[in-house]
Each structure stands twice: as C-alpha cells, then as structure tokens.
Amino acid sequence: MTCVITLRQKGYKLTPQRRLIADILHDTGAHLTADEIIAHAQERMPGVDKSTVYRTLDLLEEAGCVFKSRIGDTFVYHHAEEGHHHHLVCRKCGKTVECAEDLFAPLEQSLARDYGFHVDLHHVVMNGLCQACAKET
Amino acid sequence: MTCVITLRQKGYKLTPQRRLIADILHDTGAHLTADEIIAHAQERMPGVDKSTVYRTLDLLEEAGCVFKSRIGDTFVYHHAEEGHHHHLVCRKCGKTVECAEDLFAPLEQSLARDYGFHVDLHHVVMNGLCQACAKET
DNA sequence: GTGAATGCAAATGGTTTGCAACGTA
DNA sequence: TACGTTGCAAACCATTTGCATTCAC
C-alpha cells in the first residue's frame, strides 16, 4: 500500500492502528463515516479508541492517503488510490457511482481559462439522483 | 424577496426573525457560517436565540431559499437567488469567485449521458486555488 | 382563537484534548 | 533510549430538544 510508504516518508510511525484504519478504507472501498470506521476498527481490533481513529484519519488525510468528502450533512472518508476517479452519490438511495476523471477535464480547463482558478479535482463527490431514482420521480 | 413568497406558499409563517435571517444572507451575499449568521442576527435584533437561527436556516434550506455548502470542514449558507451561479472558493486566501452556470452544462450532460446520473447543480461550491494564490506557489 | 414559532435552558453527541503508559524506530 | 503514539477520561462546543410563552394568521 502506498500510504505505508507515504507515512514513512513524512516521518510518521507506522503503528498497527494506522495500518488497520488504512486497511479498512482500502478493503471496503466505500465512503465511510467516522462512526462507521470506528465500528469497523473496534471490531477488528478490540480496544482501539475513537480518539485514535480520529487522529489517524486526520493524519491520513493530511498525508494525502485519504479523502474527506461531504455527503448531505455528513463527512465521509475514502481511500485515495492511484488512478483518481470521482463519485456520484444518489441523494435518494445513497448508491455510489464511480465516474471517470476525464469527464471533468473540460470544466477544469474552462475554469482555468475564464477565471484563472485551479479547482481541486483530486476526488470529487457530487450529489444528485441516480438513473433508477430519477425515473421514479 | 422571493423567499417571502415561497415561505407563504409552503404554509410557513412569516416572522420578523425569519425575515431578518433571510435579509442577512441576502444583504451580505456571502457564504456565512451558522455562527456568523447568529452574530449578525443578534446584532440587528438583540434577543434572537441561536436555536431560532438554526431552525430558520433549516427551514429556509428546505424551502429552497438558501443553500448549504461545504468549505473546508465547515458548512456555510448562501441565499438562493434566481439566476443561479456557482462559487469557486480559494482554499488558501478564502476569496470567492462567482462563476457562470453554463460552464457546468457540458459536465452535466456527460454525466447524464454516460451514467444516467442527474447531478444537483443548483449551487455548487468548488474549492481550489485562485489566480493570485496559484502564482505564489 | 389557534396552532405554529420563539426564547430559554438543559441535553446531546460527535470531536478534541491532556496526560500517563506504551511501543516504534 | 527517546520521542511519537495510544487509550482513557474528561472537556468542548456546535447543534438539538422540551416546554411554557408569545405571536402571526
């Protein structure tokens, strides 16, 4: 896992807890809330404290191993693997659709051209309605 | 103000407090945090309670008069006026650049075409680096 | 007049912090 | 060994809630 290397490079120690949390995010591959991560962590390693989880998430985010996004009113975490992609999250059923990165390229360029603004496009989460839910409405 | 009409239509009562909060968002035209809105409100109308502000913000959001977005780790509110536009918020200096809505149209169409996904594009806030800050780096 | 909205105060709950014990490098 | 990291428990603080009073309609 790249984050192990990244942590070392940045001078952080590699503890079982940190490895665990990175694993959880990587294994599930989903957007997890802090609460969910705490639950998973304590299941796999009884005794881990939530404060450790919070501290580790901050650390991993700062190290660029993990992305924090907003879904509705809550923050979720997702591992940052090579080969960026974005997510479309349905606000009705909660389903997540992965989406190719290059769809955002035109927008990125327009914003740079028209406003000189350089958008963060590392890991975008957009909300909306998925195909199924859009039909129902 | 349209939101006054909207509130009435939805059967909500029009109280001085609600009008005040709508005014604050409209007058400043900025992205304000709940805290900032509470401060402004209590300044203009001593005695308003923060719980009223929170309740009103929820109400206005639900009524579609106000948008709630994320900037960094905090939520901010912005009035929803006709003539949507989006915001680019610099993560370094905090400056906000307004951006035309139609720049997002191509993306919207690609997502609909490729994934059948209908993105919420009412009021998008994207983070990144503004022209000035990008140069410095 | 009536039900909804407000202010107040207290509860809530997610997140953070201080600190002694522990473990990695 | 030395310093960063953990677990624990307490502190924090933004947000929410219950309830009596007040007010818009």
* Residue with nearest Cα to nucleotide C4 C1': B13
pTM over 0.85: yes
Structure tokens at B110: 């690609």
CA dist A60 and A83 (Å) reads 18
CATH placement of domain B2-82: 1.10.10.10
Domains B2-82 and B86-136 share a fold: no
What average pLDDT does the segment B88-98 reach? 86
Report the sign of the C-alpha dihedral through residues A115, A120, A123, A124, in that order.
Answer: negative
Cβ of B103 within 8 Å of Cβ of A114? The answer is yes
pLDDT classification of A108: cutoffs 50, 70, 90: very high
Cβ of B128 within 8 Å of Cβ of A120? The answer is yes
Q: What is the DSSP string of B74-128?
A: EEEEEE--SS--EEEEETTT--EEEE-GGGGHHHHHHHHHHH--EE--SS-EEEE
**Facing residue for B97 by CB, picked from A115, A128, A129:** A115
* Superfamily classification of domain B86-136: Ferric-uptake regulator, C-terminal dimerisarion domain (3.30.1490.190)
- Write down the pLDDT at residue B81: 78
Q: Chain A within 8 Å of B97 (Cβ-Cβ)?
A: yes
* Domain boundaries of chain A, sorted by first residue: 2-82, 86-136
* B26-84: pLDDT as tens digits: 999 889 999 999 999 999 999 999 999 999 999 999 999 999 999 889 999 999 876 67
Chain A residues in contact with B137 (beta carbon < 8 A): none
CA of A112, closest CA in chain B: separation in Å? 8
- Write down the pLDDT at residue A127: 86
Q: What percent of chain A has pLDDT over 90?
A: 61
* A83-99: pLDDT as tens digits: 667 889 888 888 888 88
